[in-house]
Chain A
Amino acid sequence: MKKNLKWKLALIIAVTGLCLFLIYPPKEKIKLGLDLKGGTHLVLQVLTDDAINVETDQMLARFEEVFKKNNISFTEATKEKPGRFFFRGIPSDQESKARDLIDQYTRDWDYSFSGDRLIFTLKPQAALYLRDQAVTQTLETIRNRIDQFGVAEPIIQRQGSDRIVVELPGVEDPERVKNLIKVTAVLEFKLVKAGPAPDEETLLREFGGQVPEDAEVVKADPRRGVQGYYLVSKVAAVTGKDLRSVRRGVDEWNNPAVHFTLTPDGAKRFEQVTGQNIGKQLAIILDGRVQSAPVIQARISDAGIIQGRFTPEEADDLVVILKAGALPAGIKYLEERTVGPTLGSDSIRQGLIAGLIAIFAVMAFMIFYYKLSGINAIVALILNEIIIFGAMAYFRATLTLPGIAGIILGIGMAVDANVLIFERIKEELVLGKNVASAIATGFSRAFSAIFDSNLTTIISAVFLFQFGTGPIKGYAVTLICSLVANLFTAVFVSRFIFEAFVPSNAKRLSI
């Protein structure tokens, strides 16, 4: 063998070996998209306005307190809209004192005196930061919940300014996960002032039809076996933030329930509230719905139980969301796709069968039409596939249905490259050239067509990758991999085979 042929052979073996190494073991290395494997794909939007709203409420309450403490009088404190609130009627001689206080307490809010009003507006920069924080925290919380729930290889990513993409491969009960992600999970323990009553009117009868200033009306959660409306105190005794640990257990009737313990600080408050209100009801409220309202039997300090006709799964899920914490803002689903395992495995099986039939049909044709030279094309085709999957394993790209389309286009163009070369060699042979020079001319003449057509398609695929979304990207990735592989196999490997196996003085070529 000629020296440069040895080098070529070494390079081909090295590339093949490297790709095989990257692919092995294929079950782990080649990631299948959800459309092939089954699973759930969710796109959700974080309602970041919620975060601004909460900040506005907190700031308003805070300055009310600060002004009162510092003897600054005002007649009205009102939230105008999220990110904007005002105080009315601050005497002009207290303005400078108010200014000093505000400067001392916050840098995130702009304020101005106009007429008899002191108007606070959230700085755009601060609003941006708050929104960003809300998305980041939501993402973390969702990740915690999913991790606790136990899903293998979940993908949780931020997309754009306020969207989160969640991909959960192989989940068999997507509804449950969806609910698990969506609940805000704000847990509050509040004293019951009245209720339960079948409607609000009956509930408020003893208060003259008005909701007392320190109370609010909360609906019961019928799924938990409680009905109607409760009037509860506005201030929570303890909240989800005071939880130290939660675990699933059973209540005294052996029904699934959730046990919790409180932090020392929370326990102190809980002890005080329960100690003073023995015989009254304490409502356990999750996301604004009363779960249960047990009567306080004795002073409780640091441990308790949440009950309410849970199924074992519901109790498990409650533990998960309480452990992971509450969402800082609400979320909304924008897109959801669930592919069950049956459909996924069907797609793979059928796709594989079809792909193999296609490849074998093409190979059979090449042998039939180009005789021994057809083997050349077959080697190139097999090598092409190995390189595609090697590259995909290396880049950790996922194989999706549109990705298969990309591979098909790749196969087509690989075959085409060989056809172009072979047809050109035939033309040269017809013109009466000897075998060696026909091969050489065939390759050099066909090269520009192969190069230009592959490169044009690569260029278009790069743009598709840059601007496209999920499936289009998947298509572009496999296509780029296979076209680059093409340039290597069709031009380099195919040429090598001819040079290595056709003697330079050959009289006939099997083509």
Chain B
Amino acid sequence: MRIFKKTPNIPFLKYKWFALALTLVIVTAGLINILAGKGLKLGVDFGEGTLIRVHFREPVSVSEIRKLLSDVGLGDSIIQEIGKEGREFQIRTMEKRTTTQEQEIESHQILADRVIRALQDKEDLEKLALGMLDLNNIDRNTLANLFREISPENAEELAGKIIEYRTLHGTIARWEELKKEPVNLPENIITFLQAKTFLGKMTILSRETVGPQVGKDLRKKATQAIIWSLIGMLVYIAFRFKGIEYGAAAIFTLTQDVLITLSIYSFTSREINLPIVAGMLTIVGYSINDTIVIFDRIRELQRTMKKEPLENIMNLSLNLNLSRTLITSGTVFLTILALYLFGGPVINDFAFLMLIGTVEGVYSTIFLSCPVVLFWNRYLKKKKLHK
């Protein structure tokens, strides 16, 4: 089976000016948006606020949560629903840069504590004050200690069963759930639990705070790592393809891969975190792979078609490799689509970024990497050729 019955003959390089203009428009729009508009949202990894994920026993709405937070003056927090059923939410407190560096992480934590307290139920707090324990937040050992009072011989086992059930479902919504499989608690244990514990309104799934010092470090190190790896690629490509223009073209392509992806990303309300940086690097990886495959074809054809102008050789290389480009990026797109659809909330931002990146990577290889080599040869090497 073949996508193209015959080798296609699309004059890609004819569109080089149009492609350059399009790139320029997207990057400019993105840069304006980043610098003057919405800007890039830095995530908690880079020292901005606290991220809390909570799971509620009963479904609630974003507006209800916002109301609870507004009551304690934290209405400007970013609240996102994650998962289904309206029971899981992600809350980002916005930092207030009024305190000194020293105090900032402490103040992040205080903010986070306030968020959690605001979300907690009044009744729950009263019960806690009475010395009852929250079955939706209790840890295994404490629960096992509790069970020692009533059935010391299998206290650990009972606690284990309940905690495992809770781990699977996030929270225990009703006592009836514990009577059924797989927990299967006998009536007397349930009665005992109902006397000693209560089912809290919510539980905290995760909580992340990065202090400004570490945030700055992480930002610096991520940037450093990326710059060095770009330099490494530049040197290797220049060496293998015997010309600095190929290395320069590859780096140019990659730079604009990152810029375009960031630009598009900046128009969504998603945040930049370390996994997103990894995603960005993956895009760069695919794009460089694409570019090298084309350059490799050019290198090969140059050996046999010495008389042919470079532009024609490039066009032929792009056409010869077109079916491969489509198949490879198609399968990669498929892989990432699966991650995007089924990967869950944690991986979702990452997959979204990659979806943009794979499409963009193909475009940049075809329309940008070759023209750059061409321009370089035409304008920067002119003198050499005249000799």
- A340 contact from B204, B324, B331, Cβ within 8 A: B204
CA A352 to CA B139, docked complex, whole Å: 27
- Shortest C-beta distance, A427 to chain B (Å), equals 7
- Shortest C-beta distance, B205 to chain A (Å), equals 4
Q: A338-B208, A341-B167, A420-B293 are in contact. Are A402 and B275 (CB under 8 A)?
A: yes
**Total contacting residues, chain A, CB less than 8 A:** 80
In this assembly, does A456 line the interface, its C-beta being within 8 Å of a C-beta of chain B?
A: yes
- Shortest C-beta distance, B58 to chain A (Å), equals 16
Q: List 27 A-B contacts (CB under 8 A).
A: A173-B139, A176-B139, A335-B210, A336-B207, A339-B206, A340-B204, A343-B205, A357-B342, A358-B334, A362-B331, A365-B334, A402-B278, A405-B275, A406-B278, A408-B282, A413-B285, A423-B321, A423-B327, A448-B299, A449-B293, A459-B236, A464-B226, A466-B225, A467-B221, A469-B217, A469-B221, A475-B278
**Total contacting residues, chain B, CB less than 8 A:** 85
In this assembly, does B127 line the interface, its C-beta being within 8 Å of a C-beta of chain A?
A: no
Within 8 A of A (CB), among B193-230: 203-211, 213-214, 217-218, 221-222, 224-226, 228-230
CB atoms of B206 and A340 under 8 A apart: yes
Which of A333, A448, A456 has the most chain B CB atoms closer than 10 A to its own CB?
A456
- Shortest C-beta distance, A343 to chain B (Å), equals 4
In this assembly, does B339 line the interface, its C-beta being within 8 Å of a C-beta of chain A?
A: yes
CB atoms of B167 and A468 under 8 A apart: no
In this assembly, does A416 line the interface, its C-beta being within 8 Å of a C-beta of chain B?
A: yes
- B53 contact from A341, A343, A404, Cβ within 8 A: A343
In this assembly, does A161 line the interface, its C-beta being within 8 Å of a C-beta of chain B?
A: no
- Shortest C-beta distance, B165 to chain A (Å), equals 11
**A contacts with B: majority SS:** helix
Q: A362-B331, A401-B275, A405-B354 are in contact. List 9 more A-B contacts (CB 8 A).
A: A335-B105, A343-B346, A346-B344, A346-B346, A365-B330, A423-B323, A461-B229, A462-B232, A467-B224
CA A341 to CA B170, docked complex, whole Å: 9
Q: Mark A344-369, 1 if CB is under 8 A from B, else 0.
A: 01110111011101110110011011
Contacts of B163 in A (CB 8 A): 172
In this assembly, does B249 line the interface, its C-beta being within 8 Å of a C-beta of chain A?
A: no
CB atoms of A463 and B285 under 8 A apart: no
In this assembly, does A236 line the interface, its C-beta being within 8 Å of a C-beta of chain B?
A: no
Q: A340-B206, A371-B1, A456-B292 are in contact. Are A334 and B211 (CB under 8 A)?
A: yes
In this assembly, does B114 line the interface, its C-beta being within 8 Å of a C-beta of chain A?
A: no
- B207 contact from A337, A358, A359, A369, Cβ within 8 A: A337
CA A370 to CA B213, docked complex, whole Å: 53
In this assembly, does A139 line the interface, its C-beta being within 8 Å of a C-beta of chain B?
A: no
Within 8 A of B (CB), among A184-218: none
In this assembly, does B248 line the interface, its C-beta being within 8 Å of a C-beta of chain A?
A: no
In this assembly, does B385 line the interface, its C-beta being within 8 Å of a C-beta of chain A?
A: no
CB atoms of B209 and A337 under 8 A apart: yes
Q: A172-B139, A358-B339 are in contact. Are A456 and B233 (CB under 8 A)?
A: yes
- Shortest C-beta distance, A404 to chain B (Å), equals 7
- Shortest C-beta distance, A378 to chain B (Å), equals 12
Q: Mark A397-410, 1 if CB is under 8 A from B, else 0.
A: 00001101110110
CB atoms of A453 and B206 under 8 A apart: no
CB atoms of B225 and A351 under 8 A apart: no
Q: Mark A411-440, 1 if CB is under 8 A from B, else 0.
A: 111011001100100110000000000000
- A345 contact from B167, B204, B211, B321, Cβ within 8 A: B167
CB-based closest 7 A-B pairs: A350-B344, A460-B229, A402-B278, A172-B139, A358-B338, A449-B296, A467-B225
CB atoms of B208 and A351 under 8 A apart: no
In this assembly, does B80 line the interface, its C-beta being within 8 Å of a C-beta of chain A?
A: no
CA A336 to CA B52, docked complex, whole Å: 12
In this assembly, does A234 line the interface, its C-beta being within 8 Å of a C-beta of chain B?
A: no
Within 8 A of A (CB), among B268-288: 274-275, 277-279, 281-282, 284-286, 288
CB atoms of B232 and A463 under 8 A apart: yes
CA A359 to CA B332, docked complex, whole Å: 10
Q: A342-B167, A463-B232 are in contact. Are A457 and B222 (CB under 8 A)?
A: no
CB atoms of A459 and B339 under 8 A apart: no
Within 8 A of B (CB), among A45-70: 45
Q: A402-B274, A406-B282, A471-B275 are in contact. Are A172 and B140 (CB under 8 A)?
A: yes
Which of B140, B231, B278 has the most chain A CB atoms closer than 10 A to its own CB?
B278
In this assembly, does B145 line the interface, its C-beta being within 8 Å of a C-beta of chain A?
A: yes
In this assembly, does B320 line the interface, its C-beta being within 8 Å of a C-beta of chain A?
A: yes
Residue on A nearest B289 in the bound complex, by CB: A453
